[in-house]
Structure 1
Amino acid sequence: MFHEDAKIAGSINSRNVFFSSMISGGVAGTVCDLTFFPLDTLKTRLQSQHGFNQSGGFRRLYQGVIPVMVGSAPAASLFFITYEGIKEFAQPKIPQTYHLFIHMGAASLGEMVACLVRVPVEVMKQRKQALLQDKGKLKLRTLYRGYGSTVLRDLPFGLIQMPLWEYFKLCWKRQACRDCTPLEGAICGAGSVAVAAVITTPLDVAKTRIMLSDTSAEKDEVKISTMLKEVYREKGAKGLFAGFAPRVFGFTLGGFVFFGVYEQVKATCSTIFPYTSIPSS
């Protein structure tokens, strides 16, 4: 009887984690991306190989917002469904000392899954942000051209950001002797995102250039290593950190809004999809 009750409770919890992650991740992703879209446009144009002014300068800062409106929610939902799902499954089975590795693994897999939606959205968005005029529809190969570089950028970003976020929240919880409020979770999120944004900027520069490359470019021309060497040869170390200020500033503010909205919506969802306690034997 106990095993059946535990199985039912586990099934309910899994379903509730799925729905709460889907809703809170989707809302947070959409609010954050739309709020900070102009900063993202400036960052893209600063990193563009076509030059800031030729890519639009300070004009039409919401160019390319439509793909973001369509793709932000599914990408963020997929990330948090994967991330929270793995945590829900693995954490009860593993001592707390090793939870860091669960967070790292969950974040890595979450980024890879989310990139299936995020990459084509980013390609369309960034090409529009840079005012590139593509003749006809982009081929599937072009839409996923930046998948490898985006994963290589987002994997380290997620590996740094999510464990740091969990660690900052844990430290706050121990200090305050209670769970973090959504506002406190937002502050922890902003700190973790700022650190991750600083470290991964060169990878972001390479990813942007790959996505803005000519559609006829050969595979060898759009490798992340090739782009990093090209940027360094053209502009040195400074070029590898092009768009640093708007990226870090925007990501820090974005992290605050994103994790704040996520925590608040998740808290609201917990009243709609409550966890079921597993009965004791």
Structure 2
Amino acid sequence: MSLFGNFLAGGLAGLAVDICLFPLDTIKTRLQSEQGFFKSGGFTGIYKGIGSVLSGSIPGACVFFVIYEGFKAYFSVYPSGSTAEATVQAIASALGAIAACIVRVPVEVVKQRSQVSLEASKSSYDVFQETVKKEGYRGLYRGFRITVIRDSTFSLLEFPIWEQMKTSYAVYMGIAKTAPFAAACLGGVAGAISGFLTTPIDVAKTQMMLAESDSMATKMGFFQSLARVASQGGLPGLFRGAIPRVCWISIGGFIFLGVYDSALSYMSTVAA
């Protein structure tokens, strides 16, 4: 499969997930907000911020999969199911996540600030302009490092788990390749595991992005941010919003990796 095929399949997968599961993401963000769920909007306006996601989901997913599949293809000499192959998959997913953050972080900043804004008429573009006016374009990259840590850690867990489960399933079933539907189900499991384990990083990232520009939260490092969240709510505080996050990522993993696998299979059939 060409890089263009990976680019297109990844973009379609990212867009499908973001449109279908945006309400769950909004609920998760509001649960993690320091203001509290209901003060951040509760169940109202759950599609606020969708404009920023629609503009950035395809580029972000495309960048990820081009890096991910390109790196795997370059080191494709390792036998399937080997430790070396799993290591390549882990590194490839982490590199893809880091590269995608260049696109994802500004989208995430605008999206999350839109999700907790109580001004019903404020659009994603209004939030974008307000952020740039107050903080400059640098403000769009608030929380970049912690997002890189979250996404690369998540990808380090999710994709090797997914790839290994697909390989094991194919061997168990005695088939050459796992079908797209089965791959989608396994993607949901891999996403749920990875999403739960990385929730504390996500909580710290959310609070950093939503904090006022002159607050201490914006000046803290990764471990300081985690410690701050823990000091406010203990262990439950670190896993605030875990249920909607796991649901969102689990269903998202099913849709995202299922659409991606299906798109690749379809394009391979057409190319043949």
Tell me if TM exceeds 0.5. Answer: yes
Question: How many angstroms does 1:50 deviate by?
Answer: 1.5
Q: Aligned partners of 1:197 and 1:183: how far apart in 2?
A: 21
Change (3 A) 1:56 1:102: same
Change (3 A) 1:137 1:200: closer
Q: Aligned partners of 1:75 and 1:220: how far apart in 2?
A: 24
Structure 1 residue 150 corresponds to structure 2 residue 147: yes
Question: How many angstroms does 1:124 deviate by?
Answer: 0.4
Q: Which moved more, 1:251-260 or 1:263-272?
A: 263-272
Question: How many angstroms does 1:17 deviate by?
Answer: 2.3
1:135-191 CA-to-partner distances (Å, cap 9, x unmatched) read 734222111111101111111100110000000000111012221111011011111
AA partner of residue 138 (structure 2): R
Question: How many angstroms does 1:216 deviate by?
Answer: 2.9
Q: Which residue number in structure 1 is paired with residue 207 of structure 2? A: 209
Q: Aligned partners of 1:225 and 1:55: how far apart in 2?
A: 26
- Structure 1 or 2, whichever has the larger Rg, is 1
Q: Report if the CA contact (8 A) 2:30-2:40 is conserved.
A: yes
Q: Which residue number in structure 2 is paired with residue 74 of structure 1? A: 59
Q: Report if the CA contact (8 A) 1:25-1:76 is conserved.
A: yes
Structure 1 residue 173 corresponds to structure 2 residue 170: yes
How many residues in Structure 1 have an aligned counterpart in Structure 2? 258
Question: How many angstroms does 1:198 deviate by?
Answer: 1.1
Q: Which moved more, 1:28-37 or 1:170-179?
A: 170-179
Q: Which residue number in structure 1 is paired with residue 157 of structure 2? A: 160
Structure 1 residue 108 corresponds to structure 2 residue 103: no
Unaligned runs of 5+ in 2: 120-126
AA partner of residue 130 (structure 2): G
AA partner of residue 186 (structure 1): A
TM-score (norm 2): 0.90
1:108-150 CA-to-partner distances (Å, cap 9, x unmatched) read 1100101110111000000000117767342221111111011
1:209-255 CA-to-partner distances (Å, cap 9, x unmatched) read 01101123368634332221221111111100000110111111111
AA partner of residue 89 (structure 2): H
Match for 1:221 among 219, 222, 226?
219
Q: Which residue number in structure 1 is paired with residue 107 of structure 2? A: 121
Structure 1 residue 130 corresponds to structure 2 residue 128: no
TM-score (norm 1): 0.88
Coordinate RMSD, CA, aligned:
1.6
